[in-house]
Structure 1
Amino acid sequence: MKLSRLVLVLGMLPFAKSQALEVSPGDFEPLPAGADAVLFYYQHADRSDLYRNGHRTSDNAKLSSDVGILRYIHAIGVSENLSWEPQILLPFGYMNASGDVGALGHTHGVGDPIITAPLKWTLPTANKDVFAIAPYLYIPVGSYNKNDGLNLGENRWRATLQAAYIHHFSAQWALDTVADVSWVSANNDFGATRAKLEENTRYEYQAAVRYNWTPSTTFALGGGYVSGAATTVDGVDQHDGVSTSYARFTVTHFIDPTLQIQAQLGKDIEVEQGFKEGARLNLRVLKVF
């Protein structure tokens, strides 16, 4: 496949195809029953390498993104050891392509809103481990134009089921492990020819080790792996299943008991298909009421 064709296919896939449903270390720790939380996320990522079947086809395929997310959470105490946390997320942002992929142009707008309601069990282990299940539903009302090379919305429904286990070794050390599986409906308005885009199941696994340096400051080191998500366009196999591994380093600090800030640095380690993130910066502010 020529580079120009590869760029067209990869670029016109919705942004969510290459975006894993990542969680930050400690995200599945239960909130106090009755609490409300508002979060704001900002993510900047730069990409310049483009891969096909594990081989780099360009080192000048520049794609940058600046994405924000507003998130609201309400925690409900179902029982002494069970918390239910309905929430909604609204992504928005800007993407810009240049270099060898400049033909993709740029875009801005809102992504598909996400609703979820995790169930979190605090287990009767020595250090109160946590098990959680979280279903997610992406509502296809985000910014999408079949003629654009880049889109923040998917123009299709997406459902994800995520499970997490937090093992607390002690008051200072914990291991977060998260796995999820994601399914999507067909996009029947893909590209200028209004083709039918279908995508196979996508899988992801994440893990991070956390260290509570002080009662208010935590460091975490981890990473993850995303696979699957191969697509067909009008029944033609695109041979584009992803196989991406990544690394993350996270610092979290409570300014006061109800206000938390977080910074995370990361990059892709290995990419089979698509753009490779050379650098990523995530920032987050959390306020609990």
Structure 2
Amino acid sequence: MKIIRIVPLLATLPWAHSQAIEVAPGDYEPLPAGADAVALYYQHAERKALYADGDRVSDNARLKSDVGILRYIHAVGLAENLVWEPQVLLPFGYLNASGDVGALGDTHGIGDPILAAPLKWTLPTTHGDIFSLAPYLFVPVGSYDKDDALNLGENRWRATLQAAYIHRFTPRLALDTVAEASWVSSNNDFGPAGVKLEEDTRYEYQMALRYALTEKTSVALGGGYVTGAATTVDGVDQHNRLSTSYGRLTVSHFIEPTLQVQAQLGQDFEVEEGFKERARLNLRILKVF
């Protein structure tokens, strides 16, 4: 069966968009200079359909993930209109495969810590548009075992650069756009044989239209597209270039001026390679102090 041939190759695919820095609407709004923030994220995602070369090869390839991220941010004012926000993110979680891909098993542990340092400029436009450049570095110290098909750590360095622009049509209506490129070093200890895994540059584009219903509550509708990230294993092309589009609906609410909760629903629309998310729930609580 075709599915049997594909299962060993699934470990070469980024799982659950984990190597991306998916941006929630409003994430690139600058914090006040001197402020600190702590955020706790929870993501639950379910996948059932599996694709290869654009064809659905299984309707029972089940992969569930429960992932958390703890994030700390400190805002430094560099100029009247420029804020630098060095931060650290620590992912952790659990993955479980079943059905036709049950051979992948399950795993839990810590993901690769992420260091980031976004620069955010407030522009002299009518409503104060925002432009940002944000480098991210994934440090390969997360949970990894070459004998496991699923891992939360990558066992390789990853560098990501995001460019973001927030255009404010009015004080209440804004469009968030983010373009991203991600590069990785080789994993020289991949699979039971400990061979070399290489990956092409990964690209992602995200956008969301955001509207403030009140001073405390906003809603946003958006989505994104992921491409690239084709891999070779021991010099053999895996023919698994990503091409995935997805949608997101987000609601954010300030319980008090420095405490925000956020909920997001989403799913994949089209998938060329790998698992298709049929449902995703993202939750976040953010405290500024």
Structure 1 match to 2:90: 90
CA contact (8 A) 1:14 1:151 kept: no
SS of 1:287's equivalent?
A: strand
- Does 2:231 correspond to 1:231? yes
Structure 2 match to 1:219: 219
Distance 2:122 2:18 in 1: 32
Structure 2 match to 1:9: 9
CA contact (8 A) 2:118 2:132 kept: yes
- Does 2:199 correspond to 1:199? yes
How far 1:8 moved relative to its partner?
Answer: 1.3
Structure 2 match to 1:36: 36
Distance 1:43 1:266 in 2: 11
- Does 2:186 correspond to 1:152? no
How far 1:17 moved relative to its partner?
Answer: 6.3
Structure 1 match to 2:242: 242
SS of 1:266's equivalent?
A: strand
CA contact (8 A) 1:49 1:276 kept: yes
Call closer, same or farther: CA 1:58–1:18 in 2, change over 3 Å: farther
SS of 2:134's equivalent?
A: strand
- Letter of the structure 1 residue corresponding to residue 41 of structure 2: Y
How far 1:13 moved relative to its partner?
Answer: 4.5
CA contact (8 A) 1:246 1:267 kept: yes
- Does 2:63 correspond to 1:72? no
Structure 1 match to 2:136: 136
Structure 1 match to 2:61: 61
Q: Any gaps of 5 or more consecutive residues in structure 2?
A: none
Structure 1 match to 2:254: 254
Call closer, same or farther: CA 1:273–1:8 in 2, change over 3 Å: same
Structure 2 match to 1:208: 208
How far 1:66 moved relative to its partner?
Answer: 0.0
Q: Which whole-Å deviations, capped at 9, do the CAs of 1:179-203 have from their partners, x for residues lacking one?
A: 0100000000000011100000000
- Does 2:186 correspond to 1:183? no
- Letter of the structure 2 residue corresponding to residue 178 of structure 1: V
Structure 2 match to 1:113: 113
- Letter of the structure 2 residue corresponding to residue 123 of structure 1: L
Distance 1:260 1:40 in 2: 11
- Does 2:38 correspond to 1:21? no
Q: Percent identity?
A: 73
Distance 2:225 2:20 in 1: 9
How far 1:20 moved relative to its partner?
Answer: 2.9
SS of 2:31's equivalent?
A: coil
Structure 2 match to 1:271: 271
- Letter of the structure 2 residue corresponding to residue 93 of structure 1: G
CA contact (8 A) 2:12 2:231 kept: no
Deviates more, 1:210-219 or 1:13-22: 13-22
CA contact (8 A) 1:16 1:152 kept: no
CA contact (8 A) 2:97 2:104 kept: yes
Structure 2 match to 1:50: 50
CA contact (8 A) 2:13 2:274 kept: no
Q: Which whole-Å deviations, capped at 9, do the CAs of 1:79-109 have from their partners, x for residues lacking one?
A: 1000000000000000000000001110000
Call closer, same or farther: CA 1:70–1:184 in 2, change over 3 Å: same
**TM-score when normalising by structure 1:** 0.98
Q: Which whole-Å deviations, capped at 9, do the CAs of 1:212-268 have from their partners, x for residues lacking one?
A: 000000000000000000000011000000000000000000000000000000000
CA contact (8 A) 1:44 1:281 kept: yes
Distance 1:259 1:22 in 2: 21
Distance 2:244 2:205 in 1: 11
CA contact (8 A) 2:138 2:159 kept: yes
How far 1:42 moved relative to its partner?
Answer: 0.0
Distance 1:14 1:190 in 2: 14
- Letter of the structure 2 residue corresponding to residue 132 of structure 1: S
How far 1:12 moved relative to its partner?
Answer: 5.3
Q: Any gaps of 5 or more consecutive residues in structure 1?
A: none
- Letter of the structure 1 residue corresponding to residue 120 of structure 2: K
Call closer, same or farther: CA 1:93–1:18 in 2, change over 3 Å: closer
SS of 1:27's equivalent?
A: coil
SS of 2:165's equivalent?
A: strand
